[in-house]
Amino acid sequence: MTRVTDNPDHLLSLALGIAVEAAALITDGRRRGLSEVSTKSSATDMVTEYDRLSEQLIVRRILEARPDDGIVGEEGAQTVGSSGIDWVVDPIDGTTNFLYGLAGYAVSIGVRDPDGGLIGVVAVPTSAEVFTARRGGGAFCNGRLVRCSDTVDVGKALVATGFSYDPARRRRQGARIAALIDSIRDIRRFGAAAADLCYAASGRVDAYFEEFLNPWDLAAGEVIARESGCLVSSISGGPVRPASVLVATPGVFGPLRDLIASVDASLDGRATRPRPTA
Ligand code: IPD
Ligand code: CA
Ligand code: CA
């Protein structure tokens, strides 16, 4: 039976403590050097011993505090809970950055209740930042309120995106970017979806879109982006899902969605009908 009697602030502080501990673990690992590096879904989809150690730590801490909760994690965690609270964990988002010693990898911990995303915590240790949000409570970076940008002109929008590990999908994504780039300010590819969502939430980019994500890429950052004032949907404008994510500051959201639709239509050789204005 679903039982949700939890105080969201307690869940947030638990998630925050765990994310900070996991971020310290991977930072320390990066400093000492990696010894186990292998591939997963494709030759470019990497996993290290610290992805696994981070997930083990996060799962252990969640179950110590909340044994009845469900957990799903990228590196295999799959616990069915009975409390109505589920944790969705990416132990290192941006593993390629982590592997190369680049900035911007993150620990991403989302908490869901029967109404959807409740808590998001994204720790980015290379910039000593932790983004947090609780549904209805605003979005924060290191405890300071953050808001999305106030950009209204899609032509001046800085847009983050990412590419799938699947070669055919990334070819198509590359073609889309090539067709889009003249109509916006510029593109950023930081390499960690959870951080991309937080950068949209804090106005460091005006929008972010990506396809073929997994639930753990999106769970935490989605709450943070929504709470910052960003609009959030699928790329075609339906409910957001990991397979299709569009997040933008309100003035850019509609025009960017229409721009992507028209680029996709021309890549497919289709004509687009203009959307009726609201
Ligand atoms: C990846 C990153 C990347 C995104 C990929 C994700 P991982 O996650 O978030 O930015 O473009 O789609 O799979 O593999 O580093 O956890
Ligand atoms: Ca990820
Ligand atoms: Ca990961």
**Domains in the chain: boundaries:** 4-143, 154-268
pLDDT of residue 275: 62
Of 88, 199, 205, 213, the one to substitute when testing ligand 1's pocket (max ligand atoms within 8 A of C-beta) is: 213
Q: Is the pLDDT at 123 greater than 80, yes or no? A: yes
pLDDT of residue 139: 98
CATH architecture of 4-143: 2-Layer Sandwich (3.30)
pTM of the model: 0.94
DSSP 3-state of 233: strand
Main-chain phi, psi angles of 254, to 5 degrees: -65, -50
Q: Is the pLDDT at 3 greater than 50, yes or no? A: no
Q: Is the pLDDT at 19 greater than 90, yes or no? A: yes
The class that CATH gives domain 154-268 is: alpha beta
Going by CA atoms, what residue is nearest to atom 13 of ligand 1? 213
Helices 167-180 and 250-268: crossing angle, nearest 10°?
A: 110
Q: How far is the CA of 242 from the centre of ligand 2 (A)?
A: 11
* Percent over 90 (pLDDT), the chain: 87
Quickly count: other Cβ atoms within 10 Å of residue 28's Cβ. Answer: 11
The residues facing 131 across adjacent strands are: 122, 141
**76-81: which pairs have CB atoms within 8 A and are 24 or more residues apart?**
none
Angle at 87 between CA 143 and CA 14, to 5 degrees: 40
Q: Is the pLDDT at 233 greater than 70, yes or no? A: yes
- Residue 47 Cβ inside 6 Å of ligand 1? The answer reads no
